[in-house]
Amino acid sequence: MKVFSANLDNLRKLYINQLQMLLSTEQQVAEALPKMADKATDTQLKQAFESHLQETQAHTKRIEQILRQAVGEAKAIKCKVLAALVTETEDMVKDAADDAVRDAALISAGQRVEHYEIAVYGAVRRWAQILGETAHMELLDKTIKEEGHADHLLTEVAERVNPYARKAA
């Protein structure tokens, strides 16, 4: 039960609220990626997670910058969606007995996160445009492109890894 309402009665408040959730999202992703890299057995998959960690740290800094400009502080509001995706990933990884199956599960989990982030960043970028926050919009657009690149890279790895998972017995 939620005790306090966020009182999202206008687009600017919704924009700030979602930026605060994106900050939490990026923080949770930064915490999960090293664990995912550690569990991956495919070298390219490990490298994809490790390089995306650096991008995620840059995304966190961008969101903090936008929040400081918009409201004077960079405060996160816990993103429950990301928490659920992390828990689901942990369960899949724990249940995967075969290395290739585990890698396929990690790729799927990574793409779920990327797709969620792309969707939220897309909405927030549009709101920044409507609110006249051009500088914010440009930073958010840069992040969306990086998230899209990470998704594309995971797709490339999946093309190679998934057939091995199919053969697992």
Please write the tens of the pLDDT for every residue from 83-106. 999 999 999 999 998 999 999 999
CB 77 within 8 A of CB 17: yes
Query: What confidence score (pLDDT) does residue 169 get?
Result: 57
Nearest-5° angle of CA 117, CA 63, CA 44?
A: 50
Query: What confidence score (pLDDT) does residue 3 get?
Result: 44
> So what's the architecture of 11-167 in CATH?
Up-down Bundle (1.20)
Residue 165 has pLDDT above 90, yes or no: no
Q: DSSP for 36-96, please give it.
A: HHHH--SHHHHHHHHHHHHHHHHHHHHHHHHHHHHHSS------HHHHHHHHHHHHHHHH-
CB 39 within 8 A of CB 102: yes
Query: What confidence score (pLDDT) does residue 6 get?
Result: 59
Query: What confidence score (pLDDT) does residue 126 get?
Result: 98
pTM of the predicted model, to two decimals?
A: 0.92
Place of tokens 């509001």: 77
Residue 161 has pLDDT above 80, yes or no: yes
For the chain, the domains span: 11-167
